[in-house]
């Protein structure tokens, strides 16, 4: 049978990929997608730990994470649309008016 | 062992698809690959006796959030030619920086895997060892816990969604409408 | 290979075969019924009364050249029709279409009629149906044509909007039956009140049934909600640039989706294979099921050729301001009545 640690390693790999995406990509949409990958990695950890403890609490936390992810995507994409209207660009480096 | 094979195939698909999501210049392809990754994760949830979470994953992530992303990419007709230019000029992409970063990331993964493999409680016992699979996968049990122990969090989430909805409408509105 | 496994495989194959033929039959039925409504014959040349017309259509499309626009995205353009048709077939996998049967005493333990038996079946059908939108959206985007793109954009907005009402009505039925398994929902509708009114959820959820059917028409992109392919505005919408077999896959997916929607409506509201006691006793309940699905499919076609298309802003208004609130009120009233009657 598959031990818990294998699920955790998969989750860690996914989280690392998501982090790398946030740092490396220069496209606001891809950055938001990377954040979704990270949230999913965390979900996998919750469900795996919940299963190994024999309770449903892990699954329930997952629903809350999904809800937050949906809210985050809605607001995040609205901000992306608003920013794109101002600068005609999706590069985060284009939005530096408050930096000096 | 079909179970073991299933786990390795699904996690392989999830990791490779996620890696391709960020190794991709075309946001459209990124979104499609991320959907593949979510599908594989839903499969992993089924191996963990959580069919309801698996279906929710498909409905919420693949069916709603990703359609929203797709919609925005189509709406903005996102420029992807510039992306190549940005990638080249990014500070983290300079050779010295990139090498140090990659080395650190590799070390972190090795250390994490090593640490996880050393804890005998995590390695020796199978993940499905404790608890009754039927009780854990039952939607009835899930609902009972959600609406008793986690009732406050559940209600707070509904307010969060309302706030997010209002926020999204206000943010995405055109200046001329105000 | 033991007999039971072979029979299970046979049932899956039969489900697939029925779906493939359902799309061909629906093409013919649609053209014949449309002809009848417009006081003409419809297809009449191929075979007696034109019954072989679908075969002729398929042969014609097979021999056409496969075109791809110059600026089209090679991979997604090919993938889009495949996603559409795969999602349409896969959704039906979770739909049961007959009671448990021993095949007239052939087997010792009864076998379930339906491609699979999943304990969260209602949600699985919903999840896979919602994947179908990607086929249309990707077809619209990858064609590199403004009409296709508009069709794809409209489709994604429309399907997300109507999914809400759809899911909320599903929730009220699930609440009544106390189960997410379609088979258990059907079996909760067996029998009759006072001996003559069948215990169908149609009579407990009349508003829910109407909302379900309207949202179902919108989800399958049929008239009066066929905005993704509105001919007068968008040429042919998302499939403007498609030809040959790839083009044929889109209508096929649409017809199979219609069949799935009708089958799920039959399972949820019309008592599935229950309702005619002597046929159920003979083990022929699936005939009842097919008849009910047929009636719903006729209604689909009837509505398409009777009601004119909405305007796009009216569609969104209707979905968000009328249909969704109505489904929420339906859910709350159902829950309140259940509490009041149980207490």
CA–CA gap between residue C128 and residue C175 (Å, rounded): 21
Contact at CB, B59 and C123, closer than 8 angstroms: yes
Q: Which residues from chain C sit within 8 angstroms of residue B55, using beta carbons? A: 120, 123-124, 127
- The 10 Å Cβ neighbour count of residue C39 is 6
pLDDT attached to residue C329: 92
Is residue C192 classed as helix, strand or coil in its secondary structure? strand
Specify the number of domains making up chain C: 1
Residue in chain B lying closest to C125 (CA): B55
Q: Look up residue B77 and give its two tokens.
A: 């007709």
Which residue from C277, C289, C296, C293 is spatially nearest to C98, judged by alpha carbons?
C289
List b or e across B64-73, with b for residues whose CB sees 16 or more CB atoms inside 10 angstroms. Answer: bbbbbbbbbb
Report chain A's C-alpha Rg in angstroms: 17
Tell me how far the alpha carbon of residue B15 is from its chain's centroid.
11
| pLDDT tens sequence for chain A (100 residues) | 777 878 888 888 888 888 888 887 778 888 889 999 999 999 999 988 888 888 888 889 999 999 999 899 889 988 888 888 877 777 777 777 777 6
CA–CA gap between residue C190 and residue C122 (Å, rounded): 18
Q: What percent of chain B has pLDDT over 70?
A: 81
Residues of chain C contacting B, Cβ within 8 Å: 73, 75-76, 79, 118-120, 123-124, 126-128, 130-131, 133-134, 137-138, 140-141, 149, 152-153, 156-157, 159-160, 163, 167, 180
Residue in chain A lying closest to B73 (CA): A29
pLDDT attached to residue B176: 61
Residue A86 sits at the chain B interface (C-beta within 8 Å): no
The set of chains that have 3 or more CB pairs under 8 A with B is A, C
Question: With 60 as the cut, is the pLDDT of residue B81 above it?
Answer: no
pLDDT attached to residue B80: 59
Q: Look up residue A97 and give its two tokens.
A: 């008016």
pLDDT attached to residue C241: 75
Q: Look up residue A48 and give its two tokens.
A: 């795996």
| B163 confidence band (pLDDT: 50, 70, 90) | very high
Q: What percent of chain B has pLDDT over 90?
A: 9
Domain that holds residue C54: 3-342
Q: What is the mean pLDDT of chain B?
A: 80
- Could you give the count of Cα atoms lying within 13 Å of C316 in the half-sphere of its Cβ? 7
Cβ-nearest to B55 among C124, C134, C156: C124
Q: Look up residue C215 and give its two tokens.
A: 């949202």
| B72 confidence band (pLDDT: 50, 70, 90) | confident
Pick B76 or B44 by higher pLDDT. Answer: B44
Which residue from C30, C24, C1, C216 is spatially nearest to C125, judged by alpha carbons?
C216
Residue A98 sits at the chain B interface (C-beta within 8 Å): no
Residue in chain B lying closest to C181 (CA): B139
Distance from CA of B79 to the nearest CA of C (A): 14
pLDDT in tens, B116-162: 777 766 666 676 666 677 777 778 888 888 888 889 989 999 999 99
DSSP label at C228?
A: G
Cβ-nearest to B22 among A20, A53, A91: A20
Which residue from A4, A16, A92 is spatially nearest to A46, judged by alpha carbons?
A4
Contact at CB, C120 and B28, closer than 8 angstroms: no
Contact at CB, A44 and B44, closer than 8 angstroms: yes
| B1 confidence band (pLDDT: 50, 70, 90) | low
Question: With 70 as the cut, is the pLDDT of residue B55 above it?
Answer: yes
pLDDT attached to residue B86: 60
pLDDT attached to residue A41: 92
The set of chains that have 3 or more CB pairs under 8 A with A is B
Residue A87 sits at the chain B interface (C-beta within 8 Å): no
Residue in chain A lying closest to B168 (CA): A75
Q: Look up residue C76 and give its two tokens.
A: 């997604």
CA–CA gap between residue C154 and residue C226 (Å, rounded): 10
Instruction: Provide the ipTM.
Output: 0.86
Residue with tokens 């979510």: B38
Distance from CA of B5 to the nearest CA of C (A): 22
Contact at CB, A3 and B157, closer than 8 angstroms: no
CB A22 within 8 A of CB A35: yes
CA–CA gap between residue C186 and residue C105 (Å, rounded): 23
| B175 confidence band (pLDDT: 50, 70, 90) | low
Contact at CB, B70 and C163, closer than 8 angstroms: no
Chains A and C lie in contact, requiring 3 or more CB pairs less than 8 Å apart: no
Question: With 80 as the cut, is the pLDDT of residue B40 above it?
Answer: yes
Contact at CB, B64 and C160, closer than 8 angstroms: yes
Contact at CB, B67 and C153, closer than 8 angstroms: no
Residue B90 sits at the chain A interface (C-beta within 8 Å): yes
Q: Which residues from chain B sit within 8 angstroms of residue A14, using beta carbons? A: 14-15, 18, 37
Question: With 70 as the cut, is the pLDDT of residue B92 above it?
Answer: no
| pLDDT tens sequence for chain C (343 residues) | 577 778 788 888 888 888 888 888 888 888 888 888 888 887 888 878 878 888 888 888 888 877 777 777 778 888 888 888 898 888 888 888 877 776 666 666 777 777 777 778 888 888 888 888 888 888 888 887 778 888 888 887 888 888 888 888 988 888 888 888 888 888 887 777 777 777 787 778 888 888 898 888 888 877 787 766 666 667 777 777 777 778 888 888 888 888 888 888 888 888 778 777 777 767 677 788 888 888 888 888 888 888 888 777 888 888 888 888 999 999 999 889 888 887 6
CB B32 within 8 A of CB C131: no
């Amino acid at each position: 049978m598959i031990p818990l640690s294998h699920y955790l390693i998969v989750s860690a790999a996914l989280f690392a990929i998501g982090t790398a995406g946030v740092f490396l990509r220069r496209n606001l949409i891809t950055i938001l997608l990377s954040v979704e990958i990270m949230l999913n990695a965390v979900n996998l950890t919750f469900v795996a730990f919940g299963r190994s403890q024999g309770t449903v609490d892990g699954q329930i936390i997952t629903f809350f994470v999904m809800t937050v992810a949906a809210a985050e995507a809605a607001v995040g994409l609205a901000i992306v649309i608003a920013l794109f209207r101002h600068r005609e660009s999706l590069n985060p480096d284009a939005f530096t008016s408050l930096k000096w | 062992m079909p179970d073991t094979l299933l786990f390795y195939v699904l996690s392989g698909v999830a990791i490779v698809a996620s890696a391709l999501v960020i190794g991709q210049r075309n946001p459209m392809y990124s979104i499609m690959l991320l959907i593949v990754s979510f599908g594989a994760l839903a499969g992993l949830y089924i191996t963990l006796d959580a069919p309801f979470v698996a279906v929710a994953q498909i409905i919420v992530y693949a069916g709603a959030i990703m359609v929203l992303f797709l919609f925005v990419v189509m709406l903005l007709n996102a420029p992807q030619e510039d992306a190549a230019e940005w990638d080249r000029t990014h500070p983290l992409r300079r050779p010295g920086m990139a090498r140090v970063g990659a080395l650190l990331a590799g070390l972190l993964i090795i250390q994490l895997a090593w640490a996880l493999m050393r804890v005998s409680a995590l390695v020796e016992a199978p993940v499905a060892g404790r608890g009754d699979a039927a009780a854990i996968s039952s939607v009835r049990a899930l609902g009972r816990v959600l609406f008793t122990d986690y009732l406050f969090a559940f209600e707070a989430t509904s307010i969060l969604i309302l706030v997010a909805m209002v926020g999204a409408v206000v943010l995405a509105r055109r200046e001329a409408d105000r | 290979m033991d007999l039971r496994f072979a029979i299970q495989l046979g049932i899956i194959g039969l489900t697939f075969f029925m779906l493939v033929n359902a799309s061909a039959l629906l093409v013919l039925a649609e053209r014949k019924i449309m002809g009848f409504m417009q006081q003409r014959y419809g297809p009449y040349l191929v075979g007696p009364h034109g019954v072989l017309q679908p075969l002729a259509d398929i042969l014609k499309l097979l021999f056409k050249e496969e075109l791809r626009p110059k600026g089209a995205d090679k991979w997604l353009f090919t993938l889009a029709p495949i996603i559409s048709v795969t999602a349409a077939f896969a959704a039906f996998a979770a739909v049961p279409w007959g009671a448990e049967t021993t095949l007239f005493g052939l087997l010792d333990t009864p076998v379930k009629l339906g491609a699979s038996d999943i304990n969260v079946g209602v949600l699985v059908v919903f999840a896979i149906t919602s994947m179908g939108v990607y086929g249309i959206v990707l077809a619209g985007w990858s064609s590199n044509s403004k009409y296709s793109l508009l069709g794809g954009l409209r489709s994604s907005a429309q399907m997300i909007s109507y999914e809400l009402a759809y899911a909320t009505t599903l929730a009220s039925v699930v609440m009544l039956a106390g189960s997410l398994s379609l088979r258990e929902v059907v079996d909760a509708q067996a029998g009759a009140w006072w001996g003559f009114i069948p215990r169908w959820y149609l009579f407990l959820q009349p508003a829910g049934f109407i909302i379900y059917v309207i949202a179902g028409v919108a989800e399958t992109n049929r008239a009066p909600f066929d905005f993704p392919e509105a001919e007068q505005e968008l040429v042919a919408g998302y499939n403007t640039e498609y030809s040959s077999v790839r083009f044929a896959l889109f209508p096929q997916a649409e017809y199979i989706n219609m069949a799935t929607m009708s089958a799920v409506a039959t399972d949820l509201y019309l008592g599935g294979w229950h309702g005619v006691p002597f046929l159920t006793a003979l083990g022929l309940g699936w005939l009842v099921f097919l008849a009910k699905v047929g009636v719903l499919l006729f209604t689909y076609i009837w509505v398409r050729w009777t009601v004119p298309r909405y305007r796009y802003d009216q569609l969104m208004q209707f979905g968000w301001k009328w249909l969704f609130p109505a489904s929420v009120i339906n859910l709350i009233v159902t829950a309140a009545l259940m509490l009041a009657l149980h207490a």
